[in-house]
Chains A and B, each alone.
Chain A
Amino acid sequence: MTSALKKSPASVKPVKVIRTVLRWVLNIIIALIFFIPFYWMFITSVKTLGQTLMMPPTFLVSEPQWQNYPEVFTKVDIWGELKNSLIVTAGTLVCQCITVIPAAYAFARYDFKGSKVLFGITLATMMIPAQLIFLPVYLMFSKWGMINTYWSLILPSASSAFAIFMLRQTFKQVSEELLEAARLDKAGEFKIIWKIMLPLARPTVVTLAMLTFISVWNDYFWPLVMTTKETVRTLPVGIASLQMTESGINYNIMMAGNVILVIPVLVVFFFAQKQIIKAFTYTGVK
């Protein structure tokens, strides 16, 4: 029986070989497309200023200029901005949890009056670009004296229509029987959300948190508009200010700053990737 299972080299079809090779080539090309910008950023960050301006550009560096990194710290207040970034990102995540989870649960599980209209309005907010509302929001915040506070950075993204939509879809997949069983087990709505819904929706929640983390962490527009002082300025704004030097742009220093900016995102992604893959392949528990 075993002999039938073994493949002799002659039985491997050439079409199959070509297909496998093509698939690998394609995979490698895609991987390179995503990898090269990161590599370029890193390699530039350890070049001398002269090397960054060389034509044609070099892809290898024989003597990495590690001192570019301490240099970043002397030019901008990295630690202070890192702290601001962390506060704003964490604050946004907490606010989104508070607003998104109950909203998604209500839209998924309750058929209240006007629920469809409300849900439609919620989705419609996704179509409004930030550039359209930043002026009224700015005026409102400045009236309330909230410019240059963390709140001016957290509140605009304290909820997310996209997250509500995604989580609602996940919550909808949970069978009604499960909730009925929980009700018969004397569980209240919050206990149902906390003990049954959220554990089942974990991959989605992790993915959404990840997406929010990336977008808030990297956000340049809102912090630029809402802050005028360094005290609440976040990392992307700080790194971008490296451009504004009198002697032209020091690409190597700037890229070093960018590496510092990106590292937390990569770390978070590394730990969350298993859940993210799950979220996109999740089909519910049978």
Chain B
Amino acid sequence: MCKMEKITLRNITKAYGKNPPVIENLNLGIEEGSFTVLLGPSGCGKSTVLRMIAGLEKTTAGDVLIDGISVRDVEPGDRNIAMVFQNYALYPTMSVRDNIEFGLKNMKVGKDERNARIAEVAEMVGLTEYLSRKPANLSGGQRQRVALARAIVKKPAVFLMDEPLSNLDAKLRTQIRTDLIELHQRLKTTFVYVTHDQVEAMSMGTDIVLMDQGTIQQHAAPAEIYASPANVFTARFIGSPPMNVVPAEAAHGKAPEFVSKVGFRPERSHIVRPGEKLSEDTVLIDGNMLAREMLGDQTQYKMETENGTVFVKEFKDDLIDYGQHQIAVKLADIACFDMQGKLCGFGLQKE
């Protein structure tokens, strides 16, 4: 845990005008070389955090440190960072080449060096043939690549990305997702990536910072955030579909008194087949099937129970027909949350 922090946010508060602050007293450390994803629903303040790191937004209070040094008085252009915007923000009147070169020229990089770097980065993102084109004559995916190339060519210490994939179609999105992981592996620099899509966060991040209403809900590695969600919000945000969380009463008195909510992952439950033998440590929930989605290797069932709708995800080949069924969940797989919504642990005792 003695890795160096590349970016540190110290007691950050951000308020727009006289409105109540959108972010209050936020502390966050981003490790050098990590692929940190700021994740959360829209309006949670994740983009604001990114923009404050970039220097595009001033902090109302608190300090942003890069390499341990406050950047309060450092202009965005001098922070040794590069940003990829949601709408790419390519300069429309410049060719692809000029777009990539613009920052280098302003950084007073020599001409030979510029040419070498542009050639290298164009090769890397596969834009060599398009260098003389204008952004208007490129497809969405190609524009995205230009935006990436423009960032990479500056060789920044930190890459900031603000929902860069949200304007692409699903197929391209998965493709560029892998490209970004590759890029991070290759460059080994710090990436800070903003998204509202937990799939993007889980697949790309080495660290996930899950935010809600301006506060950090959990900061952990993807595996950990999945395995032990810190609270109900995290549990309900991560996973596709996310964890089923129901009131503790649904456990029929098996939950201790301090537990207010219980939950289980859809993939840790299954629908009971006729004649199936169930072990002792299983809890059964009655439910009526509302919808069935066959996705090839897996099937998702949406079930209506007396405590609300829950999802069940199975990796079995046999499809189950619509109608009344029982959902089986192992007691050890049940997460318990206390009155404040915090996770207190997994597993319930059989009476």
Query: Which residue numbers of A lie inside 8 Å of B, CB to CB?
Result: 175, 177-178, 180-187, 191, 195-196, 199-200, 202, 285-286
Residue of A183, A185, A191 near B56 (CB, 8 A) is A183
Distance of A183 Cα from B90 Cα, bound (Å): 13
Looking at the assembled complex, report how far the CB atom of B167 sits from the nearest CB atom of chain A, in whole angstroms: 11
Q: What 9 pairs between A and B have smallest CB-CB spacing? A: A186-B77, A185-B103, A199-B93, A285-B92, A181-B89, A186-B106, A177-B89, A183-B76, A177-B85
CB-defined A-B contacts under 8 Å, sample of 26: A175-B87, A177-B85, A177-B86, A180-B83, A181-B83, A181-B85, A181-B89, A181-B91, A181-B150, A183-B76, A184-B54, A184-B76, A184-B81, A185-B77, A185-B106, A185-B150, A186-B75, A186-B78, A186-B106, A187-B102, A195-B91, A196-B91, A196-B93, A200-B93, A202-B93, A285-B92
CB of B69 within 8 Å of the partner chain: no
Chain B residue nearest to A191 (CB atoms) is B106
Given contact pairs A175-B87, A184-B82, A195 touches B102 in the complex (Cβ within 8 A): yes
**Inter-chain contact total with CB atoms closer than 8 Å:** 63
Chain B residue nearest to A179 (CB atoms) is B89
Looking at the assembled complex, report how far the CB atom of B209 sits from the nearest CB atom of chain A, in whole angstroms: 22
CB of B15 within 8 Å of the partner chain: no
Query: Which A residues are in CB contact (< 8 Å) with B81?
Result: 184
Chain A residue nearest to B86 (CB atoms) is A177
Residue of A186, A196, A202, A285 near B136 (CB, 8 A) is A285
Query: Which A residues are in CB contact (< 8 Å) with B90?
Result: 181
Query: Which A residues are in CB contact (< 8 Å) with B77?
Result: 183-187
Distance of A140 Cα from B75 Cα, bound (Å): 45
CB of B199 within 8 Å of the partner chain: no
Contact status B93-A184, CB under 8 Å: no
Given contact pairs A175-B87, A177-B85, A191-B106, A183 touches B92 in the complex (Cβ within 8 A): no
Beyond A196-B93, A285-B92, 20 additional contacts (C-beta under 8 Å) are: A177-B85, A177-B89, A178-B89, A180-B54, A180-B76, A181-B83, A181-B85, A181-B89, A181-B90, A181-B150, A182-B102, A183-B75, A183-B76, A184-B56, A185-B154, A186-B78, A186-B107, A196-B91, A200-B93, A286-B136
Given contact pairs A184-B77, A285-B136, A178 touches B56 in the complex (Cβ within 8 A): no
Looking at the assembled complex, report how far the CB atom of A116 sits from the nearest CB atom of chain B, in whole angstroms: 16
Looking at the assembled complex, report how far the CB atom of B170 sits from the nearest CB atom of chain A, in whole angstroms: 21
Contact status A184-B83, CB under 8 Å: yes
Looking at the assembled complex, report how far the CB atom of B127 sits from the nearest CB atom of chain A, in whole angstroms: 17
Contact status B54-A185, CB under 8 Å: no
Query: Which B residues are in CB contact (< 8 Å) with A199?
Result: 93-94
Query: Which B residues are in CB contact (< 8 Å) with A182?
Result: 91, 102
Looking at the assembled complex, report how far the CB atom of A22 sits from the nearest CB atom of chain B, in whole angstroms: 37
Residue of B89, B93, B102, B136 near A180 (CB, 8 A) is B89
